Structure formats: C-alpha cells, structure tokens
A = this chain, B = another copy of it.
Amino acid sequence: MFKDATITQIDEVMKSAQAAFRVYRKISLKERAELMRAIAREMEALGDELIRVAGEETHLPEARLRGERARTIYQLNSYADACERGDWLEARIDTAVADKAPPKPDIRKMLVPLGPVVVFGASNFPFAYSTAGGDTATALAAGCPVIVKAHPAHPQTSELVAGAIHKAVAACQLPEGVFSHVHGQSFEVGEALVNHRYTKAVGFTGSFTGGKQLFDWANQRKEPIPVFAEMSSINPVFLMPEKMAVAAAETARQYAGSITLGVGQFCTNPGLLIGVEGSDLDQFIAVLGAEVKTIAPAAMLHEGICKNYVSKRDEALKQSGVEVVAISGIEPQDNQGIPTVVAVNGDTFINNSVLHQEVFGPYSLVIKCKDIAQMTEVARHIEGQLTATLMATDEDIKNHQALVDAVQDLCGRFILNGVPTGVEVCLSMHHGGPFPSTTDARFTSVGADAIKRFARPVAYQNWSDSLLPDELKNGNPLHIWRTVNDVLSQEPVV
C-alpha cells in the first residue's frame, strides 16, 4: 500500500534532516520540550481513529492500545520535563587557575546533539516504541532531527502518528526536516538509511537478526556510528529454594499471568523459569501447568510473528529431554499463539543452545537443576538479558551470593519478587542489558537517561562568558544542576 522509499528519496530526506539540524540544535531546551508536548497533544487529538487503525493492523485489544497511547503521551511529556530540567546535559565547569604552572584554563563541558537519528520502531508496541515512541522522543530531546522508518506491520498507524508529528513541527515553526517518515519493506531502505553520511545514530527495537544487521552496517561504515538496538530477551526467573518452600503455588499463579500477558509478546516476557528439583518445584510446575491449561490462545500481532512462534515452539518441543508441562486446553484460531510450558533438566539446558533462544510468544521453559551450584552454572550460560528476576527470601539471597552475582551479570534490570513484564517510565528505569539483549549495555531506551544515546560531550576551553551556551554561562540563567569545580550546584559561578 505504501511504496518503499527510493535511494533518491532517502538522500533528499537526509539532506532535509541535516539542514534542519542546523536550526534545531540551536533552539532552547524549553523550545525542544514544547515540540515534544505539542506532539503529545496532536497524538491525543488523533482520537478513536488512531485506536481503530492500530487495532486493525496489530490485532491488539482496544484497552491495551488506549493504555499504550496514554503511556506514549506520558513518555513525551515526561521526557520533555527532563529535557528542560537539563540534568542529562552533564554540565561541568572547571574555572581557571592562573597561578598554577602551567596556568589552568577555564573549561566547561556539556552534551550536544549527535545529528540526524534514524529510528526503526517495533511491531509489538505500535505507539510506545514506534513513530512517536521513546527513541523519537529522546532523540528530539537531545536536539537531533529524527527519520522514522515505518514498521511494515503497521504502516497506516505510523502514517497517522507521523502526520501528528508533522503538525506539531509546523505549529512550533520548526523546519520540516526535524522529522521525516519513510516506508520500506525491503532490506535496501534500512541499509541506505544507516549508511547515509548524514545519519549519526540509530535506534531500533525488534528482532536479533534485524538489530544485529543494523549494528554491523553501522560499524562497517567509513565513519562508524552508534546503534542502540534492543533485541531478544528471554528474561530468566530464578526460583530460589526457601522461597519455593513457602510460596510455590502463589508464585506459580503470579507467573502464569506474566508469561501469557499480551500473548507473550512483551520484550520482558519471562521465558525461562529456573529452580532446584524436588517437591517444591514440582508443586510450582503443577500449579503453573493447571493455570496455563485454562488460558485461552489469542491473536498475535501479525501472521509472520505467529508463524515464527509456531516454528520456534515446534523446534523447542522436539529437542531431546524436553517434556511438556502444559498446553492451553483451548484450540487456537488463525494467527493465535497457544500458551505452552515445557521443562528440561539443567544438564540438558546447558548443553543445548537451541533451548537458549527466544521463542517470541506465550511460551516458557522450566529448568530443573540438581542444586544451587547448577542454577549458578545455568545463570553463567545464559546470554545477556533485559531483565532477570529472583523469587527469593532474604535468607535465599544471603546464602547464595554467587548465584545472585551471576544473575546480576546477565541483566540490565534485576527484579526481586515480582514479574518482569511492565516497564515503568522513570529515571531509574534501565531498559537495556548485556548483548544480545541490546548492542550496548551502557545505554537504556526507557527513562530520560535514554537521551544520552544521542548526544556527545563538547568541552569549551577559554570561552568568554557571553559566547558560551546559556547552559554553561556563569549566571546559570537556566538554573540547571552543574558540577562546578567538582561540586554539584545550581548556583551561579562567582
């Protein structure tokens, strides 16, 4: 329905973004924040039509879509607040010391925008991780123009949201090139966007294959550029022995909901449950199985995702040593994912890498370990993850510190006695993690720290006050927090 952008069109879009960058980088933090808030308002103004179109394209239920739009609007507004507050600028000032040998010059540093950012949205979050999602919002906060490649699974939705952003850009009297929207089903569109000389960073949420390809292209450029790709994650949950002794059934009921939430299509869906074999774990498995049998299959995002679920699940089920714990007792319709829980022992898991791969959908694997030492070994064999969870008592944690450390090493967010699904939008959130959950464990895609993916420090040496950016002027006219001669302060420099 939408034609792929041609190489010529992509070049025009990137030139327009680069031209807009020269203007957009100069506007104040307040003006950037106003653009973000205007986008939030325009997105709200799309009303029921946006929900209807997104529902048709993604098969997500209306309540979920309304919730996700509210979250997206909240993100835009909260990142706008953070943009204005300016903590993310990491402003640092060291004043001159004339009587040092040699004299120490005045040096002041802050983050400045990298330049045009290309964003590849996710199929599973048509609003919050797509066209006006977290990557777009944080790139705009950083001062970077954004070029979104619409996700082919919801191009109409993306087109509507892009229209809202264009309106906001116009209302703020900013150059059109601050935001561009292109379509592309083909490989070549993504490649041309990542390889364009004006592209200075990439944000991506999606599959390992897709994200890794962008990362490789970006690193093979003559001038490599940073890619933040959020990719696969199976979000292991470690069921510790004392906790299981006191709360096996309760934990099982809590997890039956989490592993099937949204037909298992959350990046934080818990796909691995690891415990020590014995009667407590048996009880956990029995209750989990009984619950999962009663959970109805539901429509997945699109046919391709469902096909992929069926084949990955089939591949897992036929591995040696894999036993079925429970499959939903309700027949799936077309494109529905069927809730499934299987189990293996620790040795089988450690020695079969097929079982380490993500099965995107309502599927989880229980690993029955011989003992805590084997749980620790399993933790050391699991690749990097967005989240990991301990279901544990305080005593469990104190008694098994090597396991706790091994679990922390594999994740970006470390949950105690909770479920990983549900990603709070706040500064302390870390939605990132060691490879392959993301391409750089040092950055997040949720929370205002995500702005830092798209900015770099510049140190100004020996500049006179009137020529410095407002953020670094002696008088601190923006009243931001700055580190002045090693001390955090909102005061003017005297």
Contact = CB atoms under 8 A, between A and B. Distances in A.
Interface in A417-469: 417-418, 422, 424, 426-430, 432, 434-436, 439-442, 444, 449, 452, 455-464, 466-467
Interface stretch (A283-291, A360-368, A407-415): A407-415
Given A224-B439, A457-B432, A408 B112 contact: yes
A426 B223 contact: no
- Output the residue of A428, A432, A434, A457 with the most chain B CB within 10 A: A428
A461 B414 contact: yes
Contact of A455 (B422, B442, B449): B442
Given A223-B384, A412-B459, A414-B459, A429 B109 contact: yes
Given A109-B430, A460-B414, A462-B418, A90 B449 contact: yes
A458 to B, nearest CB: 6
A224 B435 contact: yes
A461 B427 contact: no
Contact of A483 (B427, B429, B460, B466): B427
Nearest to A390: B463
A293 interface: no
A474 to B, nearest CB: 14
A315 interface: no
B427 A92 contact: yes
B461 A416 contact: yes
A48 to B, nearest CB: 22
A475 interface: no
A429 B383 CA distance: 36
B414 A442 contact: no
A94 interface: yes
A93 interface: yes
A432 B456 CA distance: 9
Nearest to A418: B462
B424 A107 contact: yes
A287 B53 CA distance: 71
A428 B459 contact: yes
